[in-house]
């Protein structure tokens, strides 16, 4: 009976760890479900954030921000993408690792928007402008001086610690290129990073040993 109690407790701990890992699966299915009634603000010609996407057929849509102005998705469209922790995903991203500073600036802009430090319109256009000449030369972009936002966040990105990007996820469409294929997105999920999951796993193993000794003495 003691052994059964130990196995039950250990199984619950392992199951908890497994529940945390699917968010970092490499390949996911994405379906674009529109903007859920959100309309363009502040005179913007485009809605931008939030793009609501069902991931792996989930009945709960995830709000994402787009970084690829020159790519398009259609309502109801489904495609395959890689979903990776933000900094890791840059290596295989749509615009490539040579744009790492721009990606980092985009990540910081997105987090600032989520923190209420800038509007969704400002954040969306600033991110588009980092990766697209068509966006950065758009009249709406220039008249609102979003280039200054980009300059500020590029400077911040140059010295930002890796921890500043915790929770961000990069969704890169399989085979997508700038102007070709579905859009690339950035999302946020407050779940443990892989390193944290490793520490969690180590902790579970240690706790299992303690529980085994405890049950053996019971």
Domain ranges in the chain? 28-192
| In contact, 66 and 185? CB cutoff 8 Å | yes
Which position has the higher pLDDT, 20 or 121? 121
Please give the Cα distance from 16 to 203 (Å, whole number).
12
Q: What is the pLDDT of residue 190?
A: 83
**pLDDT over threshold 60, residue 200:** no
**Distance between CA atoms of residues 99 and 102, nearest Å:** 5
What pLDDT is attached to residue 214? 52
pLDDT above 60 (res 21): no
Alpha-carbon Rg for the chain in angstroms: 21
Give me the phi and psi of 83, to 5 degrees please.
Answer: -120, 110
Q: What is the pLDDT of residues 50-63, one digit of tens each?
A: 999 999 999 999 99
| Burial class, 1, CB count within 10 angstroms (exposed 0-12 / middle 13-18 / buried 19+) | exposed
Type and span of the H or E element at 196: helix 194-217
């Amino acid at each position: 009976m003691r052994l059964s109690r130990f196995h039950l407790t250990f199984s619950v701990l392992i199951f908890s760890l497994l529940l945390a890992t699917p968010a970092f699966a490499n390949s996911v299915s994405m379906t674009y479900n529109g903007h859920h009634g959100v309309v363009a603000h502040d005179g913007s010609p485009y809605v931008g954030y939030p793009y609501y996407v069902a991931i792996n057929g989930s009945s709960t849509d995830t709000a994402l921000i787009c970084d690829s102005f020159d790519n398009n998705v259609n309502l109801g469209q489904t495609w395959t993408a890689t979903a990776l922790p933000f900094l890791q995903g840059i290596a295989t991203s749509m615009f490539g690792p040579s744009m790492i500073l721009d990606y980092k600036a985009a990540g910081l802009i997105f987090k600032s928007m989520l923190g209420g430090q800038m509007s969704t319109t400002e954040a969306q256009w600033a991110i588009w402008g980092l990766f697209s000449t068509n966006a950065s030369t758009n009249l709406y972009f220039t008249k609102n001086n979003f280039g200054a936002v980009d300059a500020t966040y590029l400077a911040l990105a140059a010295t930002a610690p890796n921890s500043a990007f915790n929770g961000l996820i990069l969704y890169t469409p399989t085979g997508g290129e700038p102007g070709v294929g579905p859009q690339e997105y950035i999302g946020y999920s407050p779940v443990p990073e892989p390193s944290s999951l490793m520490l969690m796993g180590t902790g579970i193993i240690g706790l299992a040993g303690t529980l085994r000794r405890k049950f053996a003495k019971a």
